[in-house]
Structure 1
């Protein structure tokens, strides 16, 4: 019996690869297994190779595995491309029309199952994916009826006849494998799961749910991979709560609409990827100058330009912090799990209103679209804070009938905030430098006072942030400190015990507040480590550069970089660290 295994299904886009992985994973999730999946897909609507690698475990996992146990192939390319991942006891389940692996180095066994033929006999070749699920269930020793609940949910709206046809395809796939291939494979039998029901979701859905829970009622966005699912989720959900989503003509309009809605008192946000973030930069400068809250979700992908729109990368870091012209206060935060993405999104709306500035929540494609098990969310943790905005405030009329001091110079840098329609709250709003009432001003002393006021906002952000750095630091003095952000958390967590088994003392720091940088939190860990390895998906070591700029100790810091479009594997982190000693 094994406590985890890795399963992959591959084929051409449009062949039902996504639904195959979805049905397989949801069924196992319902049994109580923990899952983590990563989709490799082409930037085409139809055609091009795609695969979905799903890790199944009896305990929490946050990364894809180094190798592969079961490969389900719907085309020859899947076999040729993915078979090298299989370990010696791994297997391939392929349609009968494909050829075996042509390499002496690959020892995995191949089982031919006539997916298409069985599906055609049932009425349509479209059900070949269900036949494959049935064959997989036979390999694992699962009862095909375990899939009934999921099949009814997915196909129930098409009628009971369609449900039964799909279930019959699963049953026949299992029956064929049991009869022709000898049934379950002992080396691939999973230990029994705990049977508990947990959520199974991508971080994009968690972000959408977090925005809803935070009280956001307006989203303006333009579709872009890998952020579109946030908009698609809220298009369905927001109207149920009196909100709306507007698909704008471009990213510039999305950002300015969100700023306008926030100015009117509505919690509003936008979401995009790197190319969209670039287009939003001038609008973010406007939000900084006019001190309007705005939440921006940046789901990083391969760049530059169109780059690798469906592949993993973490190369927007410097752009998020320094991309605007001029200097404005902004907050950049980075969840590392889907669960954190939910809570961080709520906190982002609070921080945006408390500090009256842009807040960027940064993810990457692996986190945004990688589906993972999430423990039940605790809605009692939700706290809504609107900062210095009080919609019931009675503003006294000033003696000289002057405008409201919307940009009043204050000790904490945060000015009183009003929204249109509040009596005696009239003020001027402009993107040029202005005085306390918002009227344009180029007076040098005023310019310095307003700049200093705006930048003072960031002084207390770190204290407001619950976990600026996630730490797993069992050693007072470590041989290696592993540092990462966003989706690299899983591979670092898996590399740690392997390195400990090699006799090394290893600590882990995962940076959750990117800007303002939590130097005081990170410095003791760096000072007490012999070497620091920063794990990130880009070519120039952007996170490592931030650490050197804010903490120092450059001579200790080593970069582990990957920028080929693929996520890290645990063995890559393990091997890199071993090379240092």
Structure 2
């Protein structure tokens, strides 16, 4: 028996690849296995090659596997594009309809199963995804009743007849492949899972859930890959809590609506990707100047322009930190796990109100859309902090305005909700005095700039960096952000087997940068390797700018649209040590 296995299904977009993967992985989750998924899809609604890869394990995992055990192919293109990943003795389950063949040199077993024919016998080719799933499940020797339960839940709303035919497709696919293979494949039998309940969600769903838990009740947004699932999640969730989602005409409208709602006292957010973030920049400056709380989620994807909208990249770092014209305080958080996506959203709303500034929560496509196992969330950890929000404004002298932008030692002024008695003040995007009235006084300008920027000196964030540092003076310090964390850890295990010592730091606070927390680990390492999905080393440059040690820092970059594999990092680090 084995402790982990990798499975992939591929075909043309729109022919059931996604639903096959969903039911297959959901069934495994019910058995208690840990899962980590990667979704490769084209930037079109239908057509173009797509594949979903799932890594299955009896232990926690947070990275894609280098190799592949089972490939399910709906067309020959899937075999041609993915067979090179198959390990020796791997298996291809292919639709017999297209007379599948294995590329020369691929050491795998081919099982042609009449997937489409089975489906058509049941009335429609739409059932072929279930026939393929049944064949996969049977080879692993797993109990069909668990799989059938997931099928019932997936198609329950369509009635008993549809469920019955899907279950029959599963059975026929299973029987056919078992006859070809002579029974379940013993070399692919998984060790029993722990059976414990786990979440199995994408990062975007965790972000949406975190927003609801944080008290967010309004989301204006414009759909964009890979952020749209946040909007879709909240469309269903927010009405249950008297909240709402509005699909705006563009990202400019979305961010300004969010600013208006936050000014009115409602916790609000928006979410987008790089192109949308660019459109929001002027409004982000408005939030900074008016000291209005604002939470934005940026789900990074391949750029520039439309770029690679459905592919992995981490190239918005410079834009998030430096994109606004002029200078304002802002906070940029970078969660690296499903759990952090949830908890960081709560922290983001608290930080936005505490420091009265924009907070950007940044993910990448793999973390946003890669479905993976997560431990159950602890709702007892939720704390709501609304900062210096005044519940009752003190009485003013006649004709005196409320000092909304009052000079204070920490730069944080008292904030009121519009309409509050004694709270009237001006609000403007031009420079202003303590009451909000426009002012071009040089003295006032400098004091106001100092007041706003002073906030960054006092920012306190939970775990600005995550550290795994078992070695006092390692040969390598490997640094990453976002979805690279688990892949780096797996690569470090291989480096250890090679006799190479390494520590690992994940940067979770990009701005203001936690330089003092980073410096001891930079100092102790012989070589510093920064792993990131972009072409110019934006994270590495950020570290050099804020913490120094430029002579030690080496880049490991990948910007072809695919996430890092453990082998990518392992090999690069061996060469750089």
Give the TM-score range, shorter chain.
over 0.9
Instruction: Name which of 407, 410, 418 aligns with 2:408.
Output: 410
Report the Cα offset of residue 122 of structure 1: 1.3
* Number of the residue aligned with 1:330: 330
Q: Does 1:229 align with 2:225?
A: no
* CA contact 2:204–2:229 (8 Å) conserved in 1: yes
Q: How does 1:51-450 map to 2 (within 5 A)?
A: 51-391=51-391, 393=392, 395-450=393-448
Q: Which runs of 5+ in 2 are unaligned?
A: none
1: distance between equivalents of 2:159 and 2:511? Answer: 52
Instruction: Name which of 534, 538, 542 aligns with 1:538.
Output: 534
1: distance between equivalents of 2:139 and 2:154? Answer: 24
Report the Cα offset of residue 374 of structure 1: 1.1
1: distance between equivalents of 2:354 and 2:462? Answer: 15
Q: Deviations along 1:335-378, whole A, 9 cap, x unmatched?
A: 00111100000100000000000000000000000000011110
1: distance between equivalents of 2:430 and 2:473? Answer: 51
Report the Cα offset of residue 216 of structure 1: 0.5
2: distance between equivalents of 1:125 and 1:250? Answer: 39
Q: Does 1:471 align with 2:467?
A: yes
Taking structure 2 as the reference length, what is the TM-score of the superposition?
Answer: 0.99
Report the Cα offset of residue 419 of structure 1: 1.0
Q: Does 1:505 align with 2:501?
A: yes
Q: Deviations along 1:519-552, whole A, 9 cap, x unmatched?
A: 0111100100000110000000000000010111
Q: Deviations along 1:156-181, whole A, 9 cap, x unmatched?
A: 11111111111111111111111222
Report the Cα offset of residue 101 of structure 1: 4.2
Q: Does 1:20 align with 2:20?
A: yes
Q: How does 1:45-56 map to 2 (within 5 A)?
A: 45-56=45-56
Report the Cα offset of residue 401 of structure 1: 2.8
1: distance between equivalents of 2:576 and 2:256? Answer: 48
Report the Cα offset of residue 97 of structure 1: 2.5
SS at match of 2:97: coil
* CA contact 1:83–1:101 (8 Å) conserved in 2: no
Report the Cα offset of residue 254 of structure 1: 0.2
* Number of the residue aligned with 2:483: 487
1: distance between equivalents of 2:453 and 2:576? Answer: 40
SS at match of 2:229: helix
2: distance between equivalents of 1:150 and 1:414? Answer: 52
* CA contact 1:89–1:187 (8 Å) conserved in 2: no
* CA contact 2:83–2:103 (8 Å) conserved in 1: no
* Number of the residue aligned with 1:460: 458
Report the Cα offset of residue 182 of structure 1: 1.0
Report the Cα offset of residue 138 of structure 1: 1.4
Report the Cα offset of residue 315 of structure 1: 0.3
Q: Point out the more displaced range, 133-142 or 479-488.
A: 133-142
* Number of the residue aligned with 2:571: 575
